[in-house]
Protein backbone atom coordinates (compact mmCIF):
# COMPACT_ATOMS: atom_id res chain seq x y z
CA UNK A 1 0.00 0.00 0.00
CA UNK A 2 1.57 3.31 -1.09
CA UNK A 3 0.61 6.33 0.94
CA UNK A 4 2.18 9.73 0.41
CA UNK A 5 1.31 12.89 2.28
CA UNK A 6 2.26 16.42 1.25
CA UNK A 7 2.53 18.76 4.22
CA UNK A 8 3.91 21.99 5.61
CA UNK A 9 5.51 22.09 9.03
CA UNK A 10 2.98 24.63 10.32
CA UNK A 11 -0.23 22.89 9.21
CA UNK A 12 -2.30 21.41 12.03
CA UNK A 13 -4.43 19.31 9.69
CA UNK A 14 -1.25 17.75 8.33
CA UNK A 15 -0.30 16.74 11.87
CA UNK A 16 -3.80 15.38 12.39
CA UNK A 17 -3.60 13.31 9.21
CA UNK A 18 -0.18 11.91 10.16
CA UNK A 19 -1.43 11.04 13.64
CA UNK A 20 -4.39 9.20 12.11
CA UNK A 21 -2.12 7.18 9.84
CA UNK A 22 0.20 6.32 12.72
CA UNK A 23 -2.70 5.31 14.97
CA UNK A 24 -3.86 2.95 12.27
CA UNK A 25 -0.34 1.64 11.65
CA UNK A 26 -0.30 2.82 8.05
CA UNK A 27 3.20 3.40 6.68
CA UNK A 28 3.52 6.63 4.71
CA UNK A 29 6.01 8.93 3.02
CA UNK A 30 5.88 12.59 3.98
CA UNK A 31 7.05 15.48 1.83
CA UNK A 32 7.29 19.02 3.25
CA UNK A 33 6.27 21.23 0.34
CA UNK A 34 7.26 24.33 2.29
CA UNK A 35 10.87 23.19 2.25
CA UNK A 36 10.82 21.50 -1.14
CA UNK A 37 9.42 23.62 -3.98
CA UNK A 38 9.71 20.81 -6.54
CA UNK A 39 7.58 18.58 -4.33
CA UNK A 40 5.05 21.41 -4.17
CA UNK A 41 4.86 21.48 -7.94
CA UNK A 42 4.50 17.70 -7.98
CA UNK A 43 1.63 17.92 -5.48
CA UNK A 44 -0.15 20.53 -7.59
CA UNK A 45 0.38 18.52 -10.76
CA UNK A 46 -0.96 15.31 -9.24
CA UNK A 47 -3.84 16.74 -7.25
CA UNK A 48 -4.65 20.06 -8.86
CA UNK A 49 -4.59 21.48 -5.33
CA UNK A 50 -2.33 24.08 -3.74
CA UNK A 51 -3.52 23.59 -0.17
CA UNK A 52 -2.17 21.07 2.33
CA UNK A 53 -2.48 18.37 3.44
CA UNK A 54 -2.86 16.33 0.29
CA UNK A 55 -2.79 12.59 0.87
CA UNK A 56 -2.46 10.13 -1.97
CA UNK A 57 -3.53 6.69 -0.81
CA UNK A 58 -3.89 3.82 -3.22
CA UNK A 59 -4.26 6.28 -6.06
CA UNK A 60 -6.98 8.25 -4.33
CA UNK A 61 -6.41 11.92 -3.56
CA UNK A 62 -7.69 13.30 -0.26
CA UNK A 63 -7.51 17.01 0.50
CA UNK A 64 -7.58 18.21 4.11
CA UNK A 65 -8.08 15.85 7.04
CA UNK A 66 -11.04 13.67 6.14
CA UNK A 67 -11.23 10.58 8.32
CA UNK A 68 -14.05 9.01 6.31
CA UNK A 69 -12.26 9.34 2.99
CA UNK A 70 -8.97 8.18 4.48
CA UNK A 71 -10.62 5.09 5.93
CA UNK A 72 -12.28 4.33 2.61
CA UNK A 73 -9.07 4.77 0.60
CA UNK A 74 -7.08 2.67 3.07
CA UNK A 75 -9.71 -0.02 3.50
CA UNK A 76 -10.02 0.66 7.23
CA UNK A 77 -13.22 0.06 9.17
CA UNK B 1 -0.23 13.76 37.02
CA UNK B 2 -0.51 17.32 38.23
CA UNK B 3 -1.70 18.28 41.65
CA UNK B 4 -5.47 18.07 41.32
CA UNK B 5 -7.12 20.05 44.04
CA UNK B 6 -10.62 19.42 45.22
CA UNK B 7 -11.75 22.73 46.59
CA UNK B 8 -13.12 22.61 50.08
CA UNK B 9 -12.96 26.29 50.95
CA UNK B 10 -15.71 27.41 48.65
CA UNK B 11 -17.21 29.84 51.14
CA UNK B 12 -14.34 32.28 50.73
CA UNK B 13 -15.65 33.50 47.38
CA UNK B 14 -19.46 33.71 47.55
CA UNK B 15 -21.40 35.35 44.72
CA UNK B 16 -22.98 38.57 45.99
CA UNK B 17 -26.52 37.87 44.87
CA UNK B 18 -26.58 34.12 45.37
CA UNK B 19 -26.86 31.97 48.46
CA UNK B 20 -23.56 30.52 49.64
CA UNK B 21 -23.11 27.22 47.89
CA UNK B 22 -22.32 23.91 49.48
CA UNK B 23 -19.33 21.82 48.49
CA UNK B 24 -20.47 20.20 45.31
CA UNK B 25 -18.15 17.35 44.42
CA UNK B 26 -20.76 14.72 45.22
CA UNK B 27 -23.23 16.41 42.87
CA UNK B 28 -21.06 16.57 39.84
CA UNK B 29 -18.93 13.46 39.73
CA UNK B 30 -20.22 10.23 38.33
CA UNK B 31 -17.46 7.71 38.31
CA UNK B 32 -19.89 4.80 38.08
CA UNK B 33 -21.17 5.76 34.64
CA UNK B 34 -18.55 6.73 32.06
CA UNK B 35 -21.14 8.52 29.93
CA UNK B 36 -22.25 10.86 32.73
CA UNK B 37 -20.46 14.10 33.46
CA UNK B 38 -20.87 17.13 35.66
CA UNK B 39 -20.55 19.42 32.70
CA UNK B 40 -20.30 18.74 28.99
CA UNK B 41 -18.20 21.31 27.19
CA UNK B 42 -18.86 21.56 23.48
CA UNK B 43 -15.77 22.93 21.78
CA UNK B 44 -12.12 22.12 22.42
CA UNK B 45 -10.49 25.50 21.82
CA UNK B 46 -8.84 27.62 24.47
CA UNK B 47 -12.11 28.50 26.22
CA UNK B 48 -13.34 24.93 26.37
CA UNK B 49 -10.01 23.52 27.53
CA UNK B 50 -9.65 26.19 30.22
CA UNK B 51 -13.20 25.52 31.39
CA UNK B 52 -12.45 21.80 31.69
CA UNK B 53 -9.30 22.50 33.66
CA UNK B 54 -11.09 24.83 36.04
CA UNK B 55 -14.08 22.54 36.41
CA UNK B 56 -11.65 19.83 37.51
CA UNK B 57 -10.11 22.14 40.10
CA UNK B 58 -13.62 22.64 41.47
CA UNK B 59 -14.19 18.90 41.65
CA UNK B 60 -16.41 18.57 38.61
CA UNK B 61 -16.05 15.93 35.94
CA UNK B 62 -16.18 17.25 32.41
CA UNK B 63 -16.37 15.94 28.89
CA UNK B 64 -14.86 18.20 26.24
CA UNK B 65 -16.05 17.43 22.73
CA UNK B 66 -14.27 18.83 19.68
CA UNK B 67 -14.02 17.33 16.23
CA UNK B 68 -11.78 17.83 13.25
CA UNK B 69 -13.01 17.12 9.75
CA UNK B 70 -11.84 18.62 6.49
CA UNK B 71 -10.61 22.02 7.57
CA UNK B 72 -12.59 22.34 10.82
CA UNK B 73 -10.29 23.40 13.61
CA UNK B 74 -8.44 20.74 15.63
CA UNK B 75 -8.27 20.54 19.43
CA UNK B 76 -6.78 23.86 20.51
CA UNK B 77 -9.13 25.84 18.30
CA UNK B 78 -8.48 28.91 16.23
CA UNK B 79 -5.18 29.74 17.90
CA UNK B 80 -3.69 26.68 16.15
CA UNK B 81 -3.83 28.68 12.91
CA UNK B 82 -2.06 31.75 14.32
CA UNK B 83 1.60 32.13 13.46
CA UNK B 84 2.92 34.13 16.40
CA UNK B 85 1.24 34.90 19.72
CA UNK B 86 2.64 37.82 21.69
CA UNK B 87 -0.30 38.75 23.90
CA UNK B 88 -0.59 35.76 26.20
CA UNK B 89 0.92 36.37 29.65
CA UNK B 90 3.77 34.12 30.59
CA UNK B 91 4.99 33.69 27.03
CA UNK B 92 6.76 36.62 25.38
CA UNK B 93 6.39 35.02 21.98
CA UNK B 94 5.50 31.57 20.76
CA UNK B 95 3.53 30.05 17.92
CA UNK B 96 -0.21 29.46 18.13
CA UNK B 97 0.14 25.67 17.79
CA UNK B 98 2.72 25.66 20.60
CA UNK B 99 0.45 27.63 22.91
CA UNK B 100 -2.53 25.44 22.05
CA UNK B 101 -0.47 22.35 22.88
CA UNK B 102 0.55 23.83 26.25
CA UNK B 103 -3.10 24.49 27.12
CA UNK B 104 -4.25 21.08 25.92
CA UNK B 105 -1.49 19.26 27.80
CA UNK B 106 -2.23 21.24 30.96
CA UNK B 107 -5.92 20.38 30.76
CA UNK B 108 -5.20 16.71 30.15
CA UNK B 109 -3.25 16.48 33.44
CA UNK B 110 -6.56 16.56 35.32
CA UNK B 111 -8.09 13.14 35.66
CA UNK B 112 -11.58 14.65 35.89
CA UNK B 113 -11.32 15.84 32.28
CA UNK B 114 -12.20 13.63 29.32
CA UNK B 115 -11.51 14.95 25.82
CA UNK B 116 -13.11 13.20 22.88
CA UNK B 117 -12.73 14.18 19.25
CA UNK B 118 -16.34 13.64 18.32
CA UNK B 119 -18.70 15.87 16.39
CA UNK B 120 -21.82 16.84 18.34
CA UNK B 121 -25.05 16.32 16.43
CA UNK B 122 -27.56 17.46 19.05
CA UNK B 123 -28.01 18.77 22.57
CA UNK B 124 -31.33 18.35 24.33
CA UNK B 125 -32.84 18.64 27.77
CA UNK B 126 -33.42 15.41 29.67
CA UNK B 127 -34.94 15.52 33.14
CA UNK B 128 -32.78 17.80 35.28
CA UNK B 129 -29.83 17.54 32.91
CA UNK B 130 -28.93 17.32 29.25
CA UNK B 131 -28.19 14.69 26.61
CA UNK B 132 -25.50 15.28 24.03
CA UNK B 133 -25.37 13.04 20.97
CA UNK B 134 -22.38 12.61 18.70
CA UNK B 135 -21.74 10.36 15.74
CA UNK B 136 -20.15 7.88 18.13
CA UNK B 137 -22.11 8.04 21.34
CA UNK B 138 -24.54 9.63 23.74
CA UNK B 139 -23.54 11.47 26.91
CA UNK B 140 -25.37 12.93 29.87
CA UNK B 141 -24.37 16.11 31.59
CA UNK B 142 -25.82 18.04 34.48
CA UNK B 143 -24.80 21.23 32.72
CA UNK B 144 -23.74 22.35 29.26
CA UNK B 145 -21.10 24.84 28.24
CA UNK B 146 -21.01 26.06 24.66
CA UNK B 147 -17.46 26.97 23.66
CA UNK B 148 -18.04 26.27 20.00
CA UNK B 149 -16.28 29.36 18.70
CA UNK B 150 -16.39 30.33 15.07
CA UNK B 151 -15.28 29.21 11.64
CA UNK B 152 -13.79 31.18 8.78
CA UNK B 153 -16.16 33.22 6.70
CA UNK B 154 -15.68 32.35 3.07
CA UNK B 155 -15.67 34.73 0.16
CA UNK B 156 -19.25 35.20 -1.00
CA UNK B 157 -20.31 33.28 -4.09
CA UNK B 158 -21.00 36.65 -5.70
CA UNK B 159 -17.21 36.82 -6.10
CA UNK B 160 -16.95 34.83 -9.31
CA UNK B 161 -14.41 32.00 -9.09
CA UNK B 162 -14.05 32.11 -5.30
CA UNK B 163 -15.41 28.58 -4.79
CA UNK B 164 -13.96 27.14 -7.99
CA UNK B 165 -10.43 28.12 -6.96
CA UNK B 166 -10.65 27.15 -3.29
CA UNK B 167 -7.40 25.32 -2.46
CA UNK B 168 -6.26 26.20 -5.97
CA UNK B 169 -4.95 29.58 -5.00
CA UNK B 170 -7.77 30.73 -2.69
CA UNK B 171 -6.85 29.86 0.89
CA UNK B 172 -8.16 30.41 4.41
CA UNK B 173 -5.09 29.38 6.45
CA UNK B 174 -1.97 31.44 5.81
CA UNK B 175 -0.05 29.48 8.40
CA UNK B 176 -0.79 26.19 6.63
CA UNK B 177 -0.47 27.14 2.98
CA UNK B 178 1.73 30.25 3.09
CA UNK B 179 4.98 28.23 2.70
CA UNK B 180 3.82 27.19 -0.79
CA UNK B 181 4.09 30.79 -1.97
CA UNK B 182 7.82 31.37 -1.73
CA UNK B 183 8.84 34.11 -4.18
CA UNK B 184 5.24 34.56 -5.36
CA UNK B 185 2.79 37.45 -5.33
CA UNK B 186 -0.17 37.08 -3.00
CA UNK B 187 -2.96 39.10 -1.44
CA UNK B 188 -4.75 39.08 1.86
CA UNK B 189 -8.42 40.01 1.76
CA UNK B 190 -9.54 41.79 4.93
CA UNK B 191 -8.50 44.58 7.27
CA UNK B 192 -8.56 43.06 10.76
CA UNK B 193 -5.68 42.26 13.06
CA UNK B 194 -5.84 38.67 11.81
CA UNK B 195 -5.53 39.88 8.23
CA UNK B 196 -2.53 42.01 9.16
CA UNK B 197 -0.84 39.10 10.92
CA UNK B 198 -1.49 36.89 7.88
CA UNK B 199 0.13 39.54 5.67
CA UNK B 200 3.19 39.74 7.93
CA UNK B 201 3.51 35.96 7.88
CA UNK B 202 3.12 35.77 4.10
CA UNK B 203 5.74 38.47 3.64
CA UNK B 204 8.23 35.98 5.08
CA UNK B 205 7.62 33.78 2.02
CA UNK B 206 6.29 35.91 -0.83
CA UNK B 207 7.97 38.70 -2.77
CA UNK B 208 4.90 40.93 -2.58
CA UNK B 209 1.78 40.98 -0.41
CA UNK B 210 -1.21 43.19 -1.16
CA UNK B 211 -3.78 43.75 1.56
CA UNK B 212 -7.09 44.43 -0.14
CA UNK B 213 -9.68 45.88 2.23
CA UNK B 214 -13.20 47.11 1.57
CA UNK B 215 -13.09 49.75 4.35
CA UNK B 216 -11.41 53.12 4.43
CA UNK B 217 -8.47 52.01 6.55
CA UNK B 218 -7.23 48.66 7.86
CA UNK B 219 -7.70 48.27 11.60
CA UNK B 220 -5.10 45.96 13.15
CA UNK B 221 -3.72 46.48 16.62
CA UNK B 222 -1.34 49.49 16.52
CA UNK B 223 1.71 47.27 17.06
CA UNK B 224 0.89 45.28 13.93
CA UNK B 225 -0.08 48.38 11.95
CA UNK B 226 3.43 49.73 12.54
CA UNK B 227 4.91 46.46 11.35
CA UNK B 228 2.75 46.56 8.21
CA UNK B 229 3.80 50.13 7.48
CA UNK B 230 7.46 49.26 7.97
CA UNK B 231 7.39 46.18 5.73
CA UNK B 232 8.40 47.08 2.18
CA UNK B 233 6.88 43.93 0.74
CA UNK B 234 3.38 44.84 1.94
CA UNK B 235 1.13 47.26 0.12
CA UNK B 236 -2.34 48.20 1.41
CA UNK B 237 -5.22 48.87 -0.98
CA UNK B 238 -8.14 50.33 0.97
CA UNK B 239 -11.77 50.96 -0.10
CA UNK B 240 -11.55 48.15 -2.66
CA UNK B 241 -13.30 44.83 -3.18
CA UNK B 242 -12.43 41.89 -5.36
CA UNK B 243 -15.26 40.97 -7.69
CA UNK B 244 -13.71 38.02 -9.51
CA UNK B 245 -10.99 35.43 -9.02
CA UNK B 246 -9.38 34.54 -12.32
CA UNK B 247 -7.30 31.53 -13.29
CA UNK B 248 -6.96 28.37 -15.29
CA UNK B 249 -5.92 25.37 -13.23
CA UNK B 250 -4.75 27.69 -10.45
CA UNK B 251 -5.38 31.33 -9.57
CA UNK B 252 -3.68 33.85 -11.83
CA UNK B 253 -5.24 37.05 -10.54
CA UNK B 254 -8.27 39.03 -9.45
CA UNK B 255 -10.55 41.71 -10.79
CA UNK B 256 -11.07 44.70 -8.49
CA UNK B 257 -14.14 46.91 -8.32
CA UNK B 258 -12.04 49.99 -8.96
CA UNK B 259 -8.93 50.94 -10.82
CA UNK B 260 -5.63 50.44 -9.03
CA UNK B 261 -2.45 51.56 -10.77
CA UNK B 262 -4.25 52.00 -14.10
CA UNK B 263 -6.04 48.66 -14.08
CA UNK B 264 -8.87 46.80 -12.43
CA UNK B 265 -7.01 43.54 -13.00
CA UNK B 266 -4.23 42.42 -10.69
CA UNK B 267 -1.91 39.46 -11.24
CA UNK B 268 -1.66 37.22 -8.19
CA UNK B 269 -0.53 33.69 -7.42
CA UNK B 270 -2.47 33.29 -4.20
CA UNK B 271 -5.33 34.85 -2.25
CA UNK B 272 -5.62 34.47 1.51
CA UNK B 273 -9.02 35.31 2.90
CA UNK B 274 -9.39 36.83 6.39
CA UNK B 275 -12.77 38.52 6.27
CA UNK B 276 -14.07 37.42 9.64
CA UNK B 277 -15.83 34.49 11.18
CA UNK B 278 -19.19 32.74 11.32
CA UNK B 279 -20.55 32.14 14.82
CA UNK B 280 -21.09 28.44 15.56
CA UNK B 281 -24.19 28.64 17.75
CA UNK B 282 -26.57 26.35 15.81
CA UNK B 283 -26.47 23.60 18.45
CA UNK B 284 -27.71 26.02 21.12
CA UNK B 285 -30.85 27.03 19.23
CA UNK B 286 -33.03 23.96 19.97
CA UNK B 287 -32.49 24.54 23.70
CA UNK B 288 -34.03 27.98 23.38
CA UNK B 289 -30.79 29.77 24.19
CA UNK B 290 -31.12 33.44 23.35
CA UNK B 291 -28.95 34.67 20.49
CA UNK B 292 -28.37 38.19 19.21
CA UNK B 293 -28.71 39.32 15.59
CA UNK B 294 -25.22 38.13 14.76
CA UNK B 295 -26.07 34.67 16.08
CA UNK B 296 -23.85 35.13 19.12
CA UNK B 297 -24.99 33.49 22.36
CA UNK B 298 -26.09 36.21 24.75
CA UNK B 299 -24.55 35.76 28.18
CA UNK B 300 -24.44 37.43 31.55
CA UNK B 301 -20.92 38.83 31.30
CA UNK B 302 -20.38 38.44 35.04
CA UNK B 303 -21.20 34.74 35.09
CA UNK B 304 -21.20 33.38 31.50
CA UNK B 305 -24.77 32.13 32.09
CA UNK B 306 -27.08 31.99 29.07
CA UNK B 307 -30.84 32.53 29.06
CA UNK B 308 -31.38 28.82 29.82
CA UNK B 309 -30.65 27.54 33.35
CA UNK B 310 -27.77 25.10 33.44
CA UNK B 311 -26.45 26.27 30.07
CA UNK B 312 -23.31 28.42 29.92
CA UNK B 313 -21.26 29.85 27.07
CA UNK B 314 -17.70 31.11 26.74
CA UNK B 315 -15.31 32.48 24.18
CA UNK B 316 -15.83 33.57 20.59
CA UNK B 317 -19.35 32.12 20.33
CA UNK B 318 -20.67 34.66 22.83
CA UNK B 319 -21.72 38.30 22.49
CA UNK B 320 -18.56 39.61 24.11
CA UNK B 321 -16.80 42.49 22.37
CA UNK B 322 -13.10 41.71 22.67
CA UNK B 323 -12.38 38.24 21.35
CA UNK B 324 -8.89 36.98 22.00
CA UNK B 325 -7.50 33.76 23.43
CA UNK B 326 -6.58 35.59 26.61
CA UNK B 327 -10.19 36.69 27.15
CA UNK B 328 -11.69 33.40 25.96
CA UNK B 329 -9.64 31.43 28.46
CA UNK B 330 -10.85 33.73 31.23
CA UNK B 331 -14.43 33.22 30.06
CA UNK B 332 -13.99 29.47 30.28
CA UNK B 333 -12.78 29.71 33.87
CA UNK B 334 -15.64 32.06 34.77
CA UNK B 335 -18.17 29.72 33.20
CA UNK B 336 -16.79 26.72 35.10
CA UNK B 337 -16.95 28.63 38.37
CA UNK B 338 -20.51 29.79 37.70
CA UNK B 339 -21.51 26.26 36.79
CA UNK B 340 -20.09 25.05 40.09
CA UNK B 341 -22.13 27.62 41.97
CA UNK B 342 -25.24 26.93 39.91
CA UNK B 343 -25.26 23.18 40.48
CA UNK B 344 -24.72 23.71 44.22
CA UNK B 345 -27.78 25.94 44.32
CA UNK B 346 -29.87 23.20 42.74
CA UNK B 347 -29.30 21.12 45.88
Residues A8, B83: C-beta atoms closer than 8 Å? no
B283-314 pLDDT, tens digit each? 999 999 999 999 999 999 999 999 999 999 99
- At B75, the pLDDT band (50, 70, 90 cuts) reads confident
How many distinct structural domains can be found in chain A?
A: 1
As for the ipTM of the complex, it is 0.91
Distance from CA of A46 to the nearest CA of B (A): 12
Per-residue pLDDT at B29 exceeds 60 = no
Write down the pLDDT at residue B74: 76
Alpha helices in B58-120 (DSSP H): 96-108
CA distance B221 to chain A (A): 24
Structure-model confidence comparison of residues B70 and A48, the more confident one: A48
pTM: 0.84
B207: Cβ contacts below 8 Å, ≥ 6 apart = B183, B184, B185, B233
CATH superfamily name and code, B10-152+277-345: FAD/NAD(P)-binding domain (3.50.50.60)
**Are B74 and A12 spatial neighbours (Cβ–Cβ below 8 Å)?**
yes
Q: How confident is the model at residue B32 (pLDDT cuts 50, 70, 90)?
A: low
CA distance B299 to A17: 36
Domain limits, chain B: 10-152+277-345, 170-273
**pLDDT bracket for residue B33 (50, 70, 90):** confident
Most A CBs within 10 A among B180, B182, B186, B270, hence the mutation to make, goes to B180
CATH number at residue A8: 3.40.30.10
Task: For residue B115, give the 3-state DSSP assignment.
Answer: strand
Q: How far apart are alpha carbons A29 and A31 in whole angstroms?
A: 7
Residue B260 predicted with pLDDT over 80: yes
| pLDDT greater than 60 at residue B338 | yes
The answer to whether B179 contacts A35, with C-beta atoms less than 8 Å apart, is yes
What pLDDT band is residue A67 in, cutting at 50, 70 and 90?
Answer: confident
Lowest mean pLDDT among A33-42, A53-62, B17-26, B251-260: B17-26
* Residue (of B130, B161, B138, B111) closest to B2 by Cα position: B111
**pLDDT per residue as tens digits for the range A9-56:** 989 889 989 999 999 999 999 999 999 999 999 999 999 999 999 999
HSE of B13, CA atoms in CB hemisphere, 13 A:
11
Interface check B74 vs A, CB under 8 A: yes
pLDDT of residue B3 exceeding 50: no
For residue B250, list chain A residues with Cβ-Cβ distance below 8 A. 44, 50
B179 interface with A at CB cutoff 8 Å: yes
- B212-246 confidence digits (pLDDT tens): 999 999 999 999 999 999 999 999 999 999 999 99
Lowest-pLDDT range of A64-68, B21-25, B157-161, B164-168: B21-25
Q: Pick from A33, A63, A65: which is nearest to B180 by CB? A: A33
Average pLDDT, integer, range B50-68:
94
User: Among B69, B166, B176, whose Cβ lies nearest the Cβ of A66?
Assistant: B69
Higher pLDDT, B6 or B118: B118
> What is the distance between the alpha carbons of residues B276 and B260, in angstroms, rounded to a whole number?
24
Residue B126 has pLDDT above 90, yes or no: yes
- Report yes or no: B71 and B173 within 8 Å, Cβ to Cβ: yes
Alpha-carbon span B149 to B277, nearest angstrom? 9
In DSSP terms, which residues pair with B64 in a beta bridge?
B41, B115
Q: What is the pLDDT averaged over residues B46-75?
A: 89
Q: Give CA B241 to chain center in angstroms.
A: 26
A13–chain B Cβ distance below 8 A for any pair: yes
Which chain A residue has the Cα nearest residue B249? Answer: A48
pLDDT at A2 over 50: yes
Chain A (16-45) residues lying within 8 Å, Cβ to Cβ, of chain B: 16, 33-35, 37, 40, 44
- Rounded to whole angstroms, the Cα distance separating B180 from B148 reads 30
A35/B176 Cβ within 8 A: no
pLDDT of B19 above 90: no
| Beta carbon pairs, A and B, within 8 Å | 76
Q: Does A5 reach chain B within 8 Å, measured CB to CB?
A: no
The mean pLDDT of A57-76, rounded to a whole number, is 91
The pLDDT assigned to B48 comes to 97
B170-273 belongs to which CATH class? alpha beta
Contact list, A11 vs chain B (CB under 8 Å)? 173, 175-177
Tell me whether residues B175 and A11 touch, CB distance under 8 A.
Answer: yes
Q: Which residue of A has its CA nearest to B84?
A: A10
Chain A residues touching residue B176 (CB < 8 angstroms): 8, 10-14, 51-52
The partner residue sitting opposite A13, judged by closest CB among B71, B168, B250, is B71
| Nearest Cβ partner for A49 among B168, B173, B182 | B168
- Structural domain that includes position A32: 3-74
Q: B69 and A65 in contact by Cβ < 8 A?
A: yes
Q: How buried is residue B97: exposed, middle or buried, by Cβ count under 10 Å (0-12/13-18/19+)?
A: buried
Question: What is the overall mean pLDDT for chain B?
Answer: 90
d(CA B107, CA A20): 22
Amino acid sequence: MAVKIYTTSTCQWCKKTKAFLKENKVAFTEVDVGANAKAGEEMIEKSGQSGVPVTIANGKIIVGFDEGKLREALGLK
Amino acid sequence: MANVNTVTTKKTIPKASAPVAKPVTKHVSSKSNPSEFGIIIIGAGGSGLAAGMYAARLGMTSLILGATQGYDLPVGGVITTTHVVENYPGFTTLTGPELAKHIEDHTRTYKEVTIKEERVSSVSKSGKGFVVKTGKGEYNGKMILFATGTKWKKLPESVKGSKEFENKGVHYCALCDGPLYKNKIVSVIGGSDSAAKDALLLAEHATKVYIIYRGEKIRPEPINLKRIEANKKIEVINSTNIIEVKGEKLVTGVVLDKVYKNSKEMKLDGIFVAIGHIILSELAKPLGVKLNRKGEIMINHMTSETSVPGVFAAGDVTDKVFKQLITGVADGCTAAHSAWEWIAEQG
